[in-house]
C-alpha cells in the first residue's frame, strides 16, 4: 500500500479521541475545481478553487451532535469533537440514530481517477472552451453568438472513519464542457440550444459533437408555436429519461418511506411499472463517472435492484432509514462534511429494451419529441407523484418530425406514468452524471397549450 492519505490520517486521529460510551464518525475530504467560461474568444471568468473540510458526528444515548469546519488546520480540527458533543446535548433522543456497522460486503476494486485532469495545464483547458465556442459558432449560419461556452473539472478524495470499525477512503475526478448557442428565430426573437459532455479526462471530451448537438437542438425549435391540447405519445431522448427516472429513484429513498412521503412505500413485490422497466443503482460500474467504492457512511457500495421487470424490489437505504424499517443498509448513503448522511442513488441504470429513438419516431402517428422540460423538480409532488411541467418539443406526425411547439405543459402522475411506459429503447447512453439510460416512450400524459379539444 502507498502512503496513507492525509484525510484518512486526520479522520483516524479524531476517532481515536472518542470517549468511552460514545460513537464517533469523522468524514474528511478535499477537492479542487476548475471552471472556465469564455465569450467571443476571450476568457470571461476563470476559477480554480481548492477546498478542504471535516465533519464530526458524535452519538450517545440516542442523541446526535454534528460539527464541521472548512479547514484541516489542527487548531480548528481539534475543537470539533468538543463542539459536536456540545451540540449533542441539545438534541432530542432518536432510536434511529446510530453509526453504520460493517456488514461484510467487500468494496469493489475500482478507482475512478484519471491523472490527466491534474496534468492538463490551465491554458490547455482554456483552449478547450475557446474551441468549443468556435465550433458552436461555425455549426450553422443562423448562430449569431454563444451565450456561454464552458469547461469545468473537479477532482477530490474523502475518508470515512468511525468507532464502529468503518475505515474507508475514496477518490474521483471528471471533466465536462457545455455550450449554449444564440440562434435567430423566424420572428426576430432568439432561440437557444444546449448540449454538454462529461468524461474522465479533458482529452476524452467531444467538442465537435457537443457543438453540433447544441445547435441542432436550437434550430429544431425555430418557428415554434403553442401546441394543440391532446394526449400524444411522448418520446424522451435518453437525457430526459435520465431526468424523469432520476425523480422516480428519488421517490424510492428509504427515508421517504419511513416518513410516509412516497406513493411507493408499501408496494414492495408489486408491479409498479410495465414489465419492460428494469432499474437499479450501481455505483460499482467502473464506466460510470459516479462510480464509488464506499458510500457516505463508509459501507461498500453495491448494485441495488429497484424495479425488476416492473416489480418494485426495494428502496435505497442508509443506516438510519434501514433502522426505521428493520432492514439493512444498501450502502446508499450520500453526504458531505457539512451534514448528516441521507439515502440516494449514485449511478442509476435502466435495463435495455428494444429499438431506438429513430425507430420510435418512425412508428408513431401522433406524438411529441420532447426538446426541453421546465420546472420539473418544482412541478412534481413527491408524496402523490402528480406533476405538471413546461415543455418544448417537436410534433411527430405519421412517423416524421413536423412542426415545433413551445409554451406547452405536460401533466400526469409518476405512478400512472410508470404503468404507461409504452417503449424502452436498447440505445443506452451514459449521461454526464453517470446515469445509463435509453430513449423512452410514454403514453397517457396530457399535453396542454393553445387550441384544441
CB environment 223-236: b (16+ within 10 A), e (fewer):
ebeebbeeebbbbb
Phi, psi for residue 119 in degrees, rounded to 5: -75, -20
Indicate where the chain has its CATH 3.30.2290.10 domain(s): 6-218
pLDDT value at position 410?
95
pLDDT value at position 412?
95
Confidence band of 3 (pLDDT split at 50, 70, 90): confident
Average pLDDT of the residues in 416-441: 95
Give strand pairing partners of 301. Answer: none
Average pLDDT of the residues in 311-317: 98
Confidence band of 378 (pLDDT split at 50, 70, 90): confident
Instruction: Give per-residue pLDDT as tens, 196-249.
Output: 999 999 999 999 999 999 999 999 999 999 999 999 999 999 999 999 999 999
Average pLDDT of the residues in 362-390: 91
pLDDT value at position 450?
52
Instruction: Give per-residue pLDDT as tens, 225-238.
Output: 999 999 999 999 99
CATH 3.40.50.460 given to domain 6-218: no
Q: How far apart are CA 151 and CA 175, in angstroms?
A: 8
Give percent above pLDDT 70 in the chain.
99
Average pLDDT of the residues in 149-164: 97
The order of strands in the sheet holding 348-350 is 311-312, 304-308, 279-281, 348-350, 436-437, 429-430
pLDDT value at position 120?
98
- Cβ contact 216:191 at 8 Å: no
pLDDT above 70 for 415: yes
Confidence band of 452 (pLDDT split at 50, 70, 90): very low
Average pLDDT of the residues in 155-168: 97
Q: Which of 302, 334, 306 is nearest to 321 (CA)?
A: 334
Confidence band of 449 (pLDDT split at 50, 70, 90): confident
Amino acid at each position: 500500500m502507498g502512503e496513507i492519505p492525509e484525510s484518512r490520517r486526520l479522520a483516524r486521529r479524531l476517532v481515536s479521541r472518542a470517549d468511552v460510551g460514545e460513537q464517533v464518525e469523522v468524514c474528511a475530504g478535499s477537492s479542487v475545481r476548475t471552471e472556465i467560461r469564455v465569450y467571443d474568444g476571450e476568457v470571461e471568468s476563470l476559477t480554480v478553487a481548492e477546498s478542504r473540510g471535516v465533519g464530526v458526528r458524535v452519538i450517545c444515548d440516542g442523541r446526535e451532535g454534528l460539527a464541521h469546519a472548512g479547514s484541516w488546520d489542527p487548531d480548528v480540527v481539534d475543537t470539533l469533537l468538543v463542539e459536536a458533543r456540545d451540540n449533542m446535548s441539545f438534541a432530542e433522543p432518536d432510536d434511529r440514530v446510530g453509526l453504520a456497522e460493517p456488514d461484510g460486503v467487500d468494496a469493489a476494486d475500482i478507482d475512478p481517477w484519471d491523472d490527466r485532469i491534474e496534468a492538463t495545464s490551465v491554458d490547455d483547458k482554456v483552449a478547450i472552451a475557446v474551441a468549443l465556442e468556435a465550433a458552436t459558432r461555425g455549426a450553422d449560419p443562423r448562430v449569431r453568438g454563444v451565450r456561454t461556452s464552458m469547461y469545468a473539472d473537479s477532482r477530490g478524495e474523502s475518508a470515512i472513519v468511525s468507532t464502529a470499525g468503518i475505515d474507508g477512503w475514496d477518490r474521483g475526478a471528471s471533466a465536462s464542457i457545455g455550450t449554449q448557442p444564440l440562434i435567430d428565430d423566424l420572428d426576430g426573437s432568439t432561440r437557444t440550444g444546449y448540449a454538454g459532455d462529461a468524461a474522465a479526462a479533458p482529452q476524452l471530451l467531444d467538442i465537435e459533437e457537443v457543438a453540433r448537438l447544441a445547435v441542432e437542438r436550437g434550430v429544431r425549435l425555430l418557428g415554434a408555436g403553442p401546441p394543440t391540447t391532446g394526449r400524444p405519445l411522448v418520446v424522451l431522448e435518453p437525457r430526459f429519461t435520465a431526468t424523469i427516472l432520476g425523480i422516480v429513484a428519488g421517490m424510492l429513498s428509504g427515508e421517504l418511506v419511513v416518513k410516509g412521503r412516497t406513493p411507493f412505500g408499501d408496494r414492495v413485490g408489486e408491479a409498479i411499472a410495465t414489465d419492460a422497466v428494469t432499474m437499479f443503482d450501481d455505483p460499482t460500474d467502473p464506466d460510470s463517472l459516479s462510480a464509488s467504492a464506499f458510500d457516505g457512511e463508509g459501507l461498500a457500495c453495491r448494485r441495488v435492484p429497484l424495479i425488476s421487470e416492473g416489480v418494485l424490489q426495494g428502496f435505497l437505504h442508509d443506516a438510519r432509514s434501514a433502522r426505521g424499517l428493520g432492514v439493512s443498509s444498501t450502502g446508499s448513503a450520500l453526504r458531505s462534511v457539512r451534514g448528516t448522511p441521507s439515502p440516494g442513488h449514485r449511478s442509476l441504470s435502466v435495463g435495455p429494451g428494444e429499438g431506438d429513438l429513430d425507430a420510435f419516431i418512425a412508428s408513431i402517428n401522433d406524438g411529441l419529441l420532447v426538446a426541453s422540460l421546465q420546472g420539473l423538480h418544482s412541478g412534481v409532488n413527491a408524496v402523490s407523484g402528480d406533476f405538471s411541467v413546461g415543455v418544448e418539443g417537436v410534433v411527430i406526425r405519421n412517423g416524421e418530425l413536423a412542426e415545433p411547439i413551445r409554451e406547452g405543459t405536460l401533466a400526469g402522475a409518476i405512478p400512472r406514468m410508470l404503468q404507461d411506459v409504452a417503449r424502452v429503447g436498447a440505445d443506452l447512453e451514459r449521461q454526464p452524471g453517470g446515469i445509463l439510460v435509453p430513449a423512452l416512450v410514454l403514453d397517457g400524459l396530457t399535453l396542454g397549450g393553445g387550441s384544441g379539444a
